[in-house]
Chains A and B, each alone.
Chain A
Amino acid sequence: QSALTQPASVSGSPGQSITISCTGTSSDVGGYNYVSWYQQHPGKAPKLMIYDVSNRPSGVSNRFSGSKSGNTASLTISGLQAEDEADYYCSSYTSSSTLYVVFGGGTKLTVL
C-alpha cells in the first residue's frame, strides 16, 4: 500500500479538464510544500511535470497545474489532448522515520 493515495484511474474527452487527487498526512503533503507530479508513458522514464506544489519546469505545457489544500494535493490538466494519456504519480517529502520521499500509487489517465 502506497503512502499517498491516488485514484486508480480517471478519464476525460479531448478538450475537457480532469483533476487527479493525492491524499497524504500532515507528515508529508500537509506538512510541506514539497509535492511534485510525474507523467509516465508506457516504456518510458517518468517526467517531472509539477514541483513545489504548483510550479512547472521549463518546457511543460501550461495546461498542467497543481494545487494543495490541507493533506490533499491535486493535478489539473486542462484542454485534454491524446498525448496526455499516461500514468501520473504524485510524490512528497516526508518526515516519517528515515524515509525522505513517498509516492502515490499512480493514476492511469485515459483520453476517450
Chain B
Amino acid sequence: EVQLVESGGGLVQPGRSLRLSCAASGFTFDDYAMHWVRQAPGKGLEWVSGISWNSGSIGYADSVKGRFTISRDNAKNSLYLQMNSLRAEDTALYYCAKDWFGELLGWFDPWGQGTLVTVSS
C-alpha cells in the first residue's frame, strides 16, 4: 500500500524557519515526482512546490519562491520542504503528494494526511 506520512509541522514565530518531511513507502520512490500542496484553514488547495524524480526539475509557487526549498533523498525515500522567513499567510495544512510520473505533471495520487504549520507570535 502506498503511504505518505508528513511530519515537522508546528507553531513557529514569524521570520523563523521550519523543515517538513514526508516519509514514503509502498512504491519505488525514485521513479516519481513529488509535490507539496497546502491548504490554509477554510480555504482551497494551493500548489507550493514540486520536484522531479532525479531533482532535475523543481518548481515553486510565486508566494514561496526564494523562501522555501524542496529537496528529496531517494536513498531514504523521503521528501523535504525547508521553509524560511515564515509569514502568517504560510499558516496551513501542508500535504505531501506523489505524482503519476517521474516528471512534474500534477496528477496527485495519493496524498498524505498533512502536517499543520501555524505561524504566529
Contacts and interface: CB of A to CB of B under 8 A. Distances in A.
A45 B111 contact: yes
A98 B65 contact: yes
Given A45-B114, A48-B109, A93-B105, A101 B47 contact: yes
Interface in A17-73: 34, 36, 38, 40, 45-48, 51-52, 57
Contacts of A93: 104-106
Dominant secondary structure at the B interface: loop
A47 B108 CA distance: 8
B100 A51 contact: yes
Contacts, number: 74
Interface residues of B, number: 26
Do most interface residues of chain A lie in helix, strand or loop, or is the interface mixed?
A: strand
B56 interface: no
Please tell me the size bucket of the interface on A.
20 to 34
Nearest to A57: B109
A84 to B, nearest CB: 19
15 contacts: A2-B44, A34-B105, A36-B108, A45-B95, A45-B113, A45-B114, A46-B45, A47-B110, A48-B109, A91-B47, A97-B62, A99-B59, A103-B37, A103-B44, A105-B44
Interface of B: 35, 37, 44-47, 50, 57, 59-62, 65, 95, 100, 104-114
Interface of A: 2, 34, 36, 38, 40, 45-48, 51-52, 57, 87, 89, 91-93, 97-106
